[in-house]
Amino acid sequence: MANILITDLYEESAYLIRSILRGVGHAVSIAITREDAEAKLATGLFDTLVVDYCTVVQENLAVGRFANEMLPGMPLVVLTRPELEDRLASLAITSRFGRPIRGQRVKEAIAVATQALAKLAARRAVPRLHAALPVELVCEGVKFSSATIDLSSRGMAVDATEVKLTPADIERLESQVRGGVVRAKLTVEPGRVIELAGRVAFVERHRSLSGRTVGVCFEKLDEQTEVVLSGLTRQAA
């Protein structure tokens, strides 16, 4: 199933759409600001972007353009109204649905996006690998060992559900979103560890609703590390 990011600046539709998509097995994250959406997209961990364009403003148009430009081929699914179509002409849209929001319409729009992603296959700009690789993460005095959930050549999502983070640890991590420096040691195969630097892209509830998921956006990789990560993530293509 897909990793889907929903961007809804006015929080009018995202939670209903998330409920529908989770019901058929997709992993779903929500962004309610442009900054949050772009930070999450920059990790390369999402397969499809859904944007609520029932109200069109520069901020949500910028999110669509960011996805089109930074992640070429990434499916963009839009919720909109017929009279607003002209304002979305600059975006490469994969599928669309309208109000009232119905489960079948949402599922059909996402199915079109999933098919488009499958056709892209090896040509996908930033493949995502769903894998549990051991990782040790350090950020602003918070240190824990866990495993990845997803990995791309641009970032990773780390499972913190089994980690005993205190409320103060969680607050410290959340305060570092889009700014905090992360140091990580990732075991890519037995006996082989690579060191990574990045920034906290997001901290949110794990898809199981227990614990947290920590998203990391990598800083510029050296050539050797990039080759290793590209080799891993191309397994997903």
Within a 10 A sphere around the Cβ of 179, how many other Cβ atoms?
A: 10
Of the residues 63, 90, 123, which one is the last residue of a structural domain? 123
Of the residues 102, 123, 144, which one is the last residue of a structural domain? 123
Asked if residue 220 and residue 152 are part of one domain, the reply reads yes
Asked if residue 158 and residue 206 are part of one domain, the reply reads yes
Please name the residues in contact with 164: beta carbons below 8 A apart, sequence gap of 6 or more. Answer: none
Measured CA to CA, the distance from residue 46 to residue 22 in angstroms comes to 15
Asked if residue 143 and residue 118 are part of one domain, the reply reads no
| Residue 221, pLDDT score | 86
| Residue 126, pLDDT score | 72
Asked if residue 214 and residue 170 are part of one domain, the reply reads yes
Asked if residue 135 and residue 86 are part of one domain, the reply reads no
| Residue 37, pLDDT score | 97
Asked if residue 166 and residue 92 are part of one domain, the reply reads no
Asked if residue 135 and residue 84 are part of one domain, the reply reads no
**Cβ-based burial of 100 (10 A; exposed 0-12, middle 13-18, buried ≥19):** exposed
Radius of gyration of the chain (CA): 18
| Residue 123, pLDDT score | 57
Q: Are 96 and 77 in contact (CB under 8 A)?
A: yes
Q: What is the CATH number of the domain that holds 53?
A: 3.40.50.2300
Please name the residues in contact with 231: beta carbons below 8 A apart, sequence gap of 6 or more. Answer: none
Asked if residue 71 and residue 7 are part of one domain, the reply reads yes
pTM for the predicted model, two decimal places: 0.92
| Residue 231, pLDDT score | 80
| Per-residue pLDDT tens listing for the chain (237 residues) | 899 999 999 999 999 999 999 999 999 999 999 999 999 999 999 999 999 999 999 999 999 999 999 998 899 999 999 999 999 999 999 999 999 999 999 999 999 999 998 887 655 667 888 999 999 999 988 999 999 999 999 999 999 988 888 889 989 999 999 888 999 999 998 999 999 999 999 999 876 666 789 999 999 888 888 888 888 876 555
Asked if residue 115 and residue 10 are part of one domain, the reply reads yes
Number of domains making up the chain: 2
Measured CA to CA, the distance from residue 229 to residue 90 in angstroms comes to 33
Asked if residue 150 and residue 79 are part of one domain, the reply reads no
One-letter amino acid for residue 14 of the chain: A
| Residue 82, pLDDT score | 94
Asked if residue 31 and residue 7 are part of one domain, the reply reads yes
Please name the residues in contact with 190: beta carbons below 8 A apart, sequence gap of 6 or more. Answer: none
| Residue 14, pLDDT score | 97
Domain of 186, in residue numbers: 129-236
- Chain-centre distance of CA 173, in angstroms? 18
Asked if residue 12 and residue 115 are part of one domain, the reply reads yes
Measured CA to CA, the distance from residue 34 to residue 37 in angstroms comes to 5
Of the residues 75, 92, 123, which one is the last residue of a structural domain? 123
**Beta bridge partner(s), residue 42:** none
Q: Is 11 left (phi over 0), alpha (psi -120 to 50) or beta?
A: left
| Residue 236, pLDDT score | 53
Three-state DSSP at 152 gives coil
Q: What is the CATH number of the domain that holds 153?
A: 2.40.10.220
| Residue 179, pLDDT score | 84
